């Protein structure tokens, strides 16, 4: 039975929520990668897309970090949202949610154990071992979403073959395929197998925390019992820490209804924010467009709203969903009100139980509400303007959440439509050239060392045929070094002479070298 490389699988809603939150709060790349890596369903989606025909015949992906770098931020965000939408289609019963939580814990335990063993035994790619640990029992996850019967039992009985089949379809390499295929082989059968096979085989056993795993550690890697138990103890602590950070209970019955409901609400709000932006797309000047979207914000929140655009050192009221727009301009420097503080800090703020300033009271009077939320919009400047949404004290949190999503999408749209200054383009181009020169220097160092070792090795050998092959390697290293040198010396674009002369023969030789393979 063939398994689709891009098979859709269920995740714990807490994990999906945390990834969505991390994406929309622009958390650092490493943090997002850590969250994604801790979920088998997300790992399979990321690997399937990163290794798809969309990217052509590229190098193998050996870690989630590499896969995310290949996808890029925008495509990864789309993947996460799509996975979240599909998550809503899974109607799992209470027992199935419990099984999914237990599956998540076992997969993460295996992955962390595989990485710890890889580090301990000096395997050069511990992140690859972690990734395969997350995937080793993917057949069980497929079975979980399959109705009871022969098909479900098929997935449960052939977990090793299913994992191997998927890993092979993603092009992760023969050693990774073998690690999946032989994960259940006896310890005595794998102790002289490849390093990666031994890592995954032992990790799957140690994840069960029983005497069989302890004995296998001695057989496969010669680890003593005390060290093996310490590894298990530390991995248990790490799994508990990850679960706590994601809000996943491990010591009690698991009920996903609340988290699943929150996930549905989050997806709905994001869809509403996207749809509202379609009602008032960015056209003309940024401030005119932002002022026009105040009605869209009111449509999705059901609350009155104002928009203040930045003009010089102040904020001017440009539009209102409540009717008349009075002449109101405030200075940003005195950041004491919710409006001016939100603009200065670049963060959304609620009035809540703060003591309102006179400006706060003026805004409450215009909105005719007991409280308000100020939500800045980013553009080329840290703050292009501020939306002020009128709320009551109970709904301010929800208004802030929807407003943040709406503002984030507007910020992206505004930034995309703003023309870039020539000076800024020139500065960024120069910074990019400097970065390239630094990278070329870093790459050239190991090439020089490799070339020197090849020269020494050649002098130690008497075999003319081998010496000839080493000469070919050295010539190719020289060619690579020349190409790097040409890249580092690439001339900057001179605006005063955009069509300067060049030697066409030299350009053709460079092009030939680049495309020769």
| Token pair recorded at residue 75 | 């495509």
317 Cβ contact partners less than 8 Å away, ≥ 6 residues apart: 306, 307, 308, 325, 326, 327, 328, 329
CB 214 within 8 A of CB 229: yes
How many C-beta neighbours within 10 Å does residue 153 have? 12
491 Cβ contact partners less than 8 Å away, ≥ 6 residues apart: none
Q: Which pLDDT band, with edges at 50, 70 and 90, does 492 fall under? A: very low
For the full predicted model, state whether its pTM sits above 0.75.
no
CB 388 within 8 A of CB 306: yes
149 Cβ contact partners less than 8 Å away, ≥ 6 residues apart: none
Q: Which pLDDT band, with edges at 50, 70 and 90, does 258 fall under? A: confident
What whole-number distance in Å separates Cα of residue 418 and Cα of residue 380? 7
CB 15 within 8 A of CB 42: yes
Query: H or E segment at 376?
Result: strand 371-377
pLDDT at 494 over 60: no
447 Cβ contact partners less than 8 Å away, ≥ 6 residues apart: 477, 480, 481, 484
pLDDT tens-digit series, residues 361-407 = 999 999 888 889 888 887 666 678 888 988 876 666 777 777 777 77
Chain centroid to Cα 345, Å, comes to: 26
What whole-number percentage of the chain has pLDDT above 70? Answer: 72
pLDDT tens-digit series, residues 441-454 = 556 666 766 766 67
How high is the pLDDT of residue 268?
A: 65
DSSP string, 467-491: HHHHHHHHHHHHHHHHHHHHHHTPP
Residue 499: Cβ-neighbour burial (10 angstroms; 0-12, 13-18, 19+): exposed
User: Measuring CA to CA, which residue among 381, 417, 406 is closest to residue 305?
Assistant: 406
pLDDT at 18 over 80: yes
pLDDT at 113 over 90: yes
How many C-beta neighbours within 10 Å does residue 486 have? 15
pLDDT tens-digit series, residues 19-60 = 877 776 666 667 788 888 888 988 888 888 777 766 666 666
Q: How many residues does the chain have?
A: 517
């Amino acid at each position: 039975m063939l398994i689709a490389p891009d098979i859709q699988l269920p995740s714990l809603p807490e994990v999906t929520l945390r990834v969505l939150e991390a994406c929309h709060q622009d958390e650092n790349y490493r943090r997002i990668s850590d969250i994604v890596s801790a979920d088998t369903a997300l790992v399979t989606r990321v690997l399937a897309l990163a290794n798809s025909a969309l990217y052509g015949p590229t190098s193998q992906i050996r870690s989630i970090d590499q896969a995310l770098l290949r996808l890029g931020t925008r495509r990864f965000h789309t993947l996460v949202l799509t996975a979240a939408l599909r998550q809503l289609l899974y109607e799992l019963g209470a027992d199935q949610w419990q099984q999914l939580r237990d599956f998540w814990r076992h997969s993460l335990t295996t992955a962390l154990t595989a990485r710890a063993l890889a580090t301990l035994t000096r395997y050069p790619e511990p992140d690859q071992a972690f990734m395969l640990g997350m995937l080793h029992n993917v057949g069980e996850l497929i079975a979980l979403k399959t109705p009871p019967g022969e098909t479900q039992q098929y997935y449960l009985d052939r977990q090793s073959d299913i994992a191997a089949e998927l890993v092979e379809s993603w092009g992760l390499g023969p050693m990774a395929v073998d690690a999946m295929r032989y994960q259940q082989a006896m310890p005595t059968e794998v102790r002289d197998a490849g390093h990666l096979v031994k890592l995954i085989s032992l990790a799957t056993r140690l994840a069960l925390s029983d005497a069989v795993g302890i004995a296998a550690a001695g057989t496969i890697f010669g680890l003593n019992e005390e060290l093996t138990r310490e590894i298990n103890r530390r991995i248990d602590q790490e799994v508990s820490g990850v679960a706590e950070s994601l809000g996943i209970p491990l010591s009690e019955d698991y009920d996903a209804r609340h988290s699943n409901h929150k996930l549905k609400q989050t997806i709905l709000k994001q869809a509403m924010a996207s749809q509202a932006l379609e009602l008032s797309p960015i056209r003309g000047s940024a401030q005119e467009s932002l002022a026009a979207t105040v009605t869209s914000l009111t449509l999705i929140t059901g609350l009155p709203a104002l928009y203040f655009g930045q003009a010089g050192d102040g904020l001017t009221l440009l539009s209102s969903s409540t009717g008349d727009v009075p002449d109101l301009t405030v200075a940003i420097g005195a950041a004491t009100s919710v409006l001016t503080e939100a603009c200065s800090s670049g963060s959304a703020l609620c009035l809540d139980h703060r003591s309102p300033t006179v400006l706060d009271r003026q805004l409450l009077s215009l909105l005719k509400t007991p409280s308000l939320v100020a939500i800045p919009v980013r553009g080329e400047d840290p703050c292009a303007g501020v939306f002020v949404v009128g709320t009551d004290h109970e709904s301010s949190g929800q208004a802030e959440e929807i407003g943040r999503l709406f503002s984030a999408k507007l910020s992206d749209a505004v930034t995309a439509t703003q023309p870039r200054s020539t000076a800024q383009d020139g500065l960024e181009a120069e910074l990019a050239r400097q970065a390239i020169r630094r990278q070329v220097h870093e790459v050239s160092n190991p090439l020089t060392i490799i070339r020197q070792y090849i020269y020494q090795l050649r002098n130690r050998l008497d075999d003319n045929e081998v010496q000839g092959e080493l000469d070919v390697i050295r010539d190719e290293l020289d060619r690579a070094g020349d190409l790097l040198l040409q890249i580092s010396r690439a001339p900057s674009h001179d605006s005063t002479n955009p069509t300067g002369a060049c030697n066409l023969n030299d350009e053709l030789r460079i092009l030939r070298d680049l495309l020769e393979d």
